[in-house]
Amino acid sequence: MKGFFELHKGGTVGPRAGVVHTDHGDILTPIFMPVGTVGTVKGVHRSELEEDIKAQIILGNTYHLYLRPGTDILRRAGGLHKFNGWDRPILTDSGGFQVFSLADNRKLTEEGAIFRSHIDGSKHFFTPENVVDIQRTIGADIMMAFDECTPGTADYKYAKNSMERTHRWLKRGLERFDSTPDKYGYSQTFFPIVQGCVYPELRRESAKFIADQGREGNAIGGLAVGEPTEKMYEMIEVVNDILPKDRPRYLMGVGTPANLLEGIERGVDMFDCVMPTRNGRNGMLFTRNGIMNMKNKKWADDFSPIDPESDCFVDLQYSKAYLRHLFVSQELLAMQIASIHNLAFYLWLVKEARKHIIAGDFHTWKPMMLERVTRRL
């Protein structure tokens, strides 16, 4: 029988290529996962996700889906796959980050987190156990543990207490997960999350604790939350030195094309971030030759395709001048085109990285690519 993860190339440290097996299909790693917070990748149809962007897995968010449309609707629909028509794998974030960043008047206890909805102010309670139940009902192929998200600027004592609470919550979440069945007849798995802020000894302790749980995959959380970029890379190295090499590593909420390349070089397998869609909606395009601000006057009479080297429909169909016109006219189509372009580029980038890892020349390709993707055009 196939395991959950097969490593094709690489080891504990350094770039890796592998495949994650789920009942909704295989995921070739390294992979970027478009964020579909409320069950939709903003402004993007399913057909575009599949054919143009070539997404292999998307994200949903427990906090948002729990508030709207709610678990009753999702259960009656037969889970999120049936509700939104996406038939490939889905990963759900536990909602921990949103409880700490979006919700009003949140209060943390050992039992869980009490918070008020950012939509209507109604009061709710998340525990490690009910977050498992909610994700079971959403029907995610990969579920995340409910963790406390520590700010990147937290002091050592706060970070240590927060990490220890996350570990205690993890044990409770795992107990609930292991004692409840898969919901819709396909297999669901559960990833713990390494915390520890920017403190190497805490990260090591957390990585060891998470590795000892022996789950099918592991996540690295609490990064890209205000700490310096170099510190983030250092923490990834510290953690990946300890996490088992035969399980996928998921770096949560990261990041720029440069962050992806640096993460891959340090042994990360899975990424997600709102950046390609959020920045795209504001006119920022990431390309293999650098970063473009499509609102700039310089594109006003550039009638060349958005990206002539791409095989994505929008990149070849529309010109830079036309896309700039749409942005300055505040047309919805501008945001759609930019979102599709950016996501297609992110998926192309991780696919290229995989190709070079397998070919054995990632270390010569990466510095050249890093220089290109960080240029301002």
Known catalytic residue: 272? yes
Measured distance CA(31)–CA(56) in Å, rounded: 8
Answer whether 31's CB lies under 8 Å from 55's CB: no
Q: Which of 52, 141, 272, 315 is catalytic?
A: 272
The predicted pLDDT at position 97 comes to 86
pLDDT at 241 over 80: yes
Known catalytic residue: 269? no
Handedness of CA 81, 131, 118, 330 (dihedral sign): negative
Q: Three-state DSSP class for 164?
A: helix
Pairing of strands 284-287, 290-293: antiparallel
pLDDT in tens, 265-289: 999 999 999 999 999 999 999 999 9
Residue 47 buriedness (CB in 10 A; 0-12 / 13-18 / 19+): exposed
pLDDT at 251 over 70: yes
Q: Which of 93, 147, 307, 315 is catalytic?
A: 93
Domains and CATH numbers, the chain: 5-272 (3.20.20.105), 281-373 (no CATH)
* pLDDT band (50, 70, 90) for residue 358: very high
What's the length of the chain? 377
Measured distance CA(255)–CA(261) in Å, rounded: 10
CA angle 40, 55, 331 (to 5 degrees): 50
* pLDDT band (50, 70, 90) for residue 106: confident
* pLDDT band (50, 70, 90) for residue 102: confident
Measured distance CA(197)–CA(278) in Å, rounded: 25
The predicted pLDDT at position 96 comes to 87
The predicted pLDDT at position 30 comes to 98
Mean pLDDT of 107-130: 94
Q: Among candidates 1, 2, 21, which has minimal Cα distance to 248?
A: 21
| Entry pTM | 0.97
- Residue 123: other Cβ atoms inside 10 A: 10
Q: Among candidates 208, 268, 14, which has minimal Cα distance to 260?
A: 268
Mean pLDDT of 77-91: 98
Give CA separation, 221 vs 102, 118, 163, 259, 346, in Å. 17, 23, 11, 15, 21
pLDDT in tens, 173-209: 999 999 999 999 999 999 999 999 999 999 999 999 9
